[in-house]
Structure 1
Amino acid sequence: MDFTKKLLITAMASTMLVGCTVPGSHLDIDGKNVVKVSEEQKNNISEQVNVYPLTASTVSTLKAPRVTSKENPALDAEVARYQYHIGPGDILNVTIWDHPELTIPAGSYRSSTEAGNWVHSDGTIFYPYIGLVNVEGKTVTEVRDEMATRLKKFIESPQVDVNVAAFRSQKAYITGEVNAPGQQPVTNVPMTILDAVNKAGGLAEDADWRNVTLTRNGVEDSLSLYALMQRGDLTQNRLLRPGDIIHIPRNDAQKVFVMGEVNNPQLIKIDRAGMSLTEALSTVGGINELEADATGIFVIRGNKSQSTKSQTLANIYQLNIKDASALVIGTEFELQPYDIVYVTAAPISRWNRVVRQLLPTITGFNELTEGALRIRNWP
């Protein structure tokens, strides 16, 4: 077979391959409204991206400040002067010493809650001789002093004691990823966020303890239970007030994407202790030693704040592990939610892929050539 015939066969094989239907889905944009993008918009992405090589000297400057143990004197002072203020629904227990008929008029076998004085919706209680007493918003000390003053008209030197038998008027709420979410009564014992979490059975397995919110009077305050419970940063603690809502979200947003030339590309979640770049690579089975470019391990971190046009679109951090000891640097680089870890392919790997795509055509050409030669040499 001469060269012209071989060329013709090659052309026919190429035409046949082009005309073949490729299996799989396809989205055709013909007939659809395609938004035009200028060449400047296409090409200016490189101007909005910063690349930072990760080295032993630079990785320390990129680390977030370490959370350390801190005192909270403001909270200590607030707890020291804390007093409970009575509200509607509470039950008060009033004792008049040497006057048992006033103390438990319904009998000595009833509990304090059953025999106590219910604070009505108008904030008052009724007591013999003195009638209605306005107790809403007052402390037990203030109520005791007022009742003692008013009883002097009927009892000589009355000795009055007042305490709250049941706390029902004021509540705080803890929601989200705790083992027993729900309402918790505000009592005469000051309750902090840490107390509330412990009373709720502690954190659930999927809790995101770094991004806790405290909502008070419609205003949200972001807190970190990681800093409080793991690092002893007491400035993250708060004294709870009636109506406060503590919400501990799920860790669904604590995820990173590992893609490219790794052994098992996947989405992985950052655990409670955090996750370094080296840990992420280990979780996906490491890089593909045969096809990965060890100099091309990148962490792509989008810029979440886009308030001005001058801000960068993303920051890219490059780790070169051609020397495997550089993985130590990766252990010092903490990943953040929605980071993309991308491992590029080595140039030889890209060439091998091109060859693999051409192999069916080359094989088909060889078979056609061999067949034509057999036909030509057929006796």
Structure 2
Amino acid sequence: MRPILMVAAAAALAGCGVIYNSPQVGRGFAGDDTAVRVVPITPQTVLAANRSAYQPKQLPAAFSQTAGTSAATGPGLGALPPPIFRPEDRPGELALRVPPEAQERPYRIGVGDVLLLATPTGSSVEQLSGLLAAQNSRQGYTVQDDGAIAVPDVGRISVSGMTVPEAEDRVFQRLVEAQIDPTFSLEIAEFNSSRVSLGGAVSNPGVIPITLTPLYLEEALANAGGVTAQDVDYASVRIYRDGQIYQIPVNDLYASDQLRRIKLLKGDAIFVDDTYDLAQAQAYFEEVITRSQLQQTARTQALAELNSAVGFQRAALAEQRGNFTARQSLGAEQPDFVYLAGEVQTQSRFAMPYENDTTLADALYEQGGYSNQTGNSRQIYVLRGSADPRDFSAVTAWHLDATNAANFVLATRFELRPNDVIFVAEQPVTRWNRAISQIPPAILNPVNRAVNDT
């Protein structure tokens, strides 16, 4: 009888917390009457809990940027343009950087253009019968590498760099000098010297000539079949001009008449990028430079300028990312934390990820979950104080009863907030075992002997 009384006394002491005190969800802080509101986690309360305002911490902009150009300078480069992305931009935002406005200038004849000279001819059967579309003798002349056209009985006439009226004056003088009737008209039949390359996320990439009328960005895109990017939020039109890269987000382009009317210049390369990765645009620009300047000594310098501009920005981004990582390792950049207590596998704090929401299931099972032997699946709580750090008047205990395994689905939808505490209570038998383990052996040994004797 005496051993039974001793066991009963031990159980009573355990129950009243004399031998063993275990954490549990109670009224509030020691010595005050803070209210603890217990709210069952249900589909409806999950929606209510998730409505509380919270913005996950963002990584620095350098982690979302791709290499562009920077304000650094290098030998022979001159001042480079400002970065495509600004540090104050939110990650994932495409910055707008527009090329300088081009002045209105008349078209100038260049190497490769085909000039058409039309001179009057006498009547013929073909002309009178309407079999010919024109009553002039029309002959095309290609501007050669030396900038001249070769006209029979006249010789070579230098016209490169001239406007059409200037070229007409030059041809007129040479015809007079050759004692040939100077009655003629001159026009450009093929525009091959002033062209714009266009590639990337367009229907028909290729080369578009600049004619006597200005070529604007919207016309170039339309001639290429339009932008085919699926997600315009991350699509941009990048323009490479004179060793510098400019960027126009597609959303901004569609919203602005002024951006659509950007005048393009000879040698511009346009790349519609839908991957938010400058590597593809760089490869395209290099191809354009290689093709258009293959026989020019400036090709090497142009490629070096592009690679240097991209390299400067890549180095700057790497330095910014490295500085942030170093600050993190030294504790200067702290993420938001959630704390795990009670019968979890590891009592610890869980760092909430950057730029993403965290759920109860994420934090609980990232740290190994809770103990099935000692943890009470009926009593899983998320303890949350007031959003005001000065307010200790109330604590909400969001209660998940996981005895029904289907309720774990709610844990994958329940969003956590910084400084939440995940608490798993202990099993009643766990409390008993721990209380018994603290009773001195001198008390328990007679009990054990009595049990064995029976």
TM-score range, shorter chain: 0.3 to 0.5
| TM-score when normalising by structure 2 | 0.39
Which structure exhibits the higher relative contact order, with contacts defined as CA atoms closer than 8 Å and separated by 6 or more residues? 2
TM-score (norm 1): 0.46
Look at both structures and tell me which one has the larger radius of gyration over its CA atoms: 2
